[in-house]
Structure 1
Amino acid sequence: MITANNTMAGHATRQSTGIVNLLLGPVLVAGILSAGNANAGVGDGPRAYQLAPVGTEVVTVIGVRQNSNYNLDGSPTSPAARVEVTAMAFQYTRVIDVGGNAAGLFAVLPFAGADGTLLNGARQPSSEGLGDVIVGGVVGLIGSPALNPKEFGAYKPGFGFGIVGKLALPTGEYDSSKAINIGTNRWSLQLGTALSWQFGDSMRPGEVTSLELTPMVSIYGDNEDPNGGNVLEQDPLYGLEMHVTHDFNRMFWGAFDAVYSAGGATTLDGVAASDDVEVIGVGFTIGATLPRGTNLEFSYGETIKDDLDSYDDAIYRIKIKQVF
């Protein structure tokens, strides 16, 4: 199990006939995917850490539309506030050999626009621009041999285990006079493990069914120039992501997605907000493997349990991937 998030490889003459997934962490746009994406039932996404041939390169374009009660930095808003986000991200991933195991290195460049609305209908100033750049990697430790395309096509999958790390840098647009920002004005680090059970005779499209579990913890630096205060701190956010995937045929596959998140309470100038969360989200994903290494994927997710308020968070995500 390894590589990166949600990209299926094309033909064997290009890279392989198997599935390549490119890592897109839950910190896509200043936290929209750390709190919102995970809480709304999408998370990193199905087949996010599957084996891929060494040398594979993938460029991915991601579009996201989300309606939630989470700020872009991953902290919960007032129960009376709603945040609407439209985001686009560009991601590059390369699979390399690390000590005989496959590993995926990646970078994500996000852009977004966000608007907020209070329960009384009062709109907050909008924000748009560059989000926080994300860099990271995933290294397979068990069931993730470094294979060339020919070896990959004949590989029989099974149990896989790997480690994941993602660092979000405070590069995004930020204005402390605004309650809603694209940038977070702080760093965040996500660490986790990726476990998968692959059922099938090979990794070729049309032959894969999988069960995937991904426990994660997100650790946040301090924002020393927050809106309405001097220092914003946030406790770690813990999460567990689960996906059950199945190939319907050589072109189409689908997945049931579920996520659980807990923790993440914030403190502003030493005053605890008591806004830690416990959230359960569910969703589904439909993917299509097209000729010449092009792949499409659509995901929808929503919350079914959220301690913050009675709103149903929802997210729509589209990915277009090109394998080289």
Structure 2
Amino acid sequence: MRFVPACLAFAIVLAGSLEGTPADAQSIEPRAYSPAPVGTNFAIVAFSESKGAIPVDPALPLSDIDLHVDAVLAAYARSVNLFGESGKFDLIVPIAHLKGEATYFGEPVERDIRGLSDPLARLTILFHGAPAMNAAEFRGYRQDLLLGASVQVSIPMGQYDHERLINLGGNRWSIKPELGASKTWGRWTVETALGVTLYTANNDFFGGHKRTQKPIYSAQGHIIYNLKPGMWLAGNLSWFAGGRTSIDGVEDDNLQQNWRAGLIFAAPINRRFSLKANASTGVSTRTGNNFDLYGIALQYRWGGGI
């Protein structure tokens, strides 16, 4: 059996460590819509380092942003049978150390904080091209066109101080429905995904104000080359726009429209372990998203008849 990648591609480190808290629309995640035998489990531990104008919350009125973030991520995923189709559930718990400075309406702002960021939970279904399969059926499976959908929820359990602008948690819920497609030609796979992130209000923003945010719309594309079973290289491009905020009903001038690009390399160590490494950077930014990220992740899989 070829090595099955988890539904958490390594770029989820980015989404889970910081961006998945208030800005999960910005993650770059290839192979999110790929099947595995029902009952397969995945455990992931990852580390990432980010430097620059990191969007802890890109809608904040900050300038001259210079932040350094080290993040550790623990995640669990399981392949499930959803109405006869391949499905996946994953849970992501990030812990981060953020240190740096920015400018808020001409005044310097500094922050040095360690703690939990908002966890993420997601349910995915492949409704075309990948019926639910056991290990024996999966051995003979060959991917062609896959169509899928997912719903991701950000849970407001992360560190939050209403007297500080920069936090690791968002103090609000978010939900991100997404549609994805994947098509394979020989060693090449092309993937696309379209999503929208919806937010509840933060009723205790920076001294007790009410802060709301309009949806962020996102799109991402991936070109993946399969070097050999379980080993692949992906080039990625993501776009996200929208997300204008209001404080106590007064709208801010902080519309987002940003592009990011990245590379991801994955390789198996043996039947159960694999490594993923990635790098990404801002390409075009309207708000503070011009940062660089690097990281590595170790994945372990079990169950599902492997």
Is TM-score (shorter-chain normalized) higher than 0.5?
yes
User: Conserved in 2, the CA contact under 8 Å of 1:233 and 1:266?
Assistant: yes
Give the CA deviation at 1:277: 1.0
Note if contact 1:251-1:290 (Cα within 8 Å) is conserved in structure 2. Answer: no
Provide the C-alpha distance between the structure 1 equivalents of 2:267 and 2:51, rounded to a whole number of angstroms. Answer: 26
Specify which of 67, 86, 97 is matched with residue 83 of structure 1: 67
More strand by share: 2
Tell me whether 1:186 sits opposite 2:164 in the alignment: no
Does the 8 Å contact 1:25/1:44 carry over to 2?
no
Note the alpha carbon deviations across 1:148-197, whole angstroms, 9 max, x for none: 11211211210000111111111111111222111111111111011100
Aligned residue pairs, count: 297
Which consecutive residues of structure 2, in runs of 5 or more, have no partner in the other structure?
Answer: none
Q: Tell me the residue number matched to 1:163.
A: 149
Structure 1 residue 34 displacement after superposition? 6.2
Partner of 2:96: 112
Distance 1:166 1:316 in 2: 24
- Map of 1:287 onto structure 2: 266
Q: Are 1:31 and 2:19 matched, yes or no? A: yes
Structure 1 length normalisation: TM-score? 0.84
Shift, 1:73, TM fit: 4.3
Please tell me whether residue 102 in structure 1 is matched to residue 95 in structure 2.
no
Aligned to 1:20: 5
Task: Give the equivalent residue in structure 2 for 1:45.
Answer: 29
Secondary structure of the equivalent of 1:152?
helix
**For the residues of structure 2 that align with 1:291 and 1:77, how far apart are their CA atoms?**
47
Match of 1:139 among 118, 121, 125: 125
CA distance in 1, matches of 2:42, 2:212: 36
User: How far apart, in 2, do the equivalents of 1:270 and 1:192 lie?
Assistant: 29
Query: What secondary structure is seen at the aligned counterpart in 2 of 1:231?
Result: strand
Structure 1 CA distance for aligned equivalents of residues 65 and 58 of structure 2: 14
* Contact 1:32/1:71 (<8 A) preserved: no
Once the two structures are superposed, what CA deviation does each residue of 1:76-110 show, in whole Å capped at 9, x if it has no partner?
44122333322111111111111210100111111
Instruction: Give the equivalent residue in structure 2 for 1:244.
Output: 223
Output the amino acid matched with 1:161. L
1:323 is matched with 301
Q: Which residue does the alignment assign to 1:11?
A: none
- Distance, in Å, in 1 between the alignment partners of 2:46 and 2:266 is 14
CA contact under 8 A between 1:26 and 1:35: conserved in structure 2?
Answer: no
TM-score, normalised on structure 2?
Answer: 0.89
Q: Could you tell me whether the CA contact under 8 Å between 1:289 and 1:295 is conserved in 2? A: yes
Q: Displacement of 1:21 after TM fit?
A: 2.3
Q: For structure 1, which runs of at least 5 residues remain unmatched after alignment?
A: 1-15, 201-207
CA contact (8 A) 1:300 1:314 kept: yes
2:165 touches 2:206 (CA, 8 Å); kept in 1?
yes
2:201 aligned residue: 222
* Percentage identity across paired residues of the two chains: 24
Counterparts of 1:274 and 1:148 in 2: how far apart (Å)?
52
State how far apart, in whole Å, the 1-side matches of 2:188 and 2:292 are: 26
**Alpha-carbon distance in 1 for matches of 2:162, 2:287:** 24
Asked if the contact 1:127/1:180 (under 8 Å) is kept, the reply is: no
Code of the residue aligned with 1:267 in structure 2: it is S
Is 2:155 the partner of 1:176? Answer: no
Go from structure 1 to structure 2 and tell me whether the alpha carbon gap of 1:242 and 1:30 turns closer, same or farther (over 3 Å shift): same
Calculate the aligned-residue CA RMSD, in Å: 2.3
Of 48, 53, 56, 1:64 maps to 48
1:203-214 equivalences under 5 Å are: 208-214=187-193
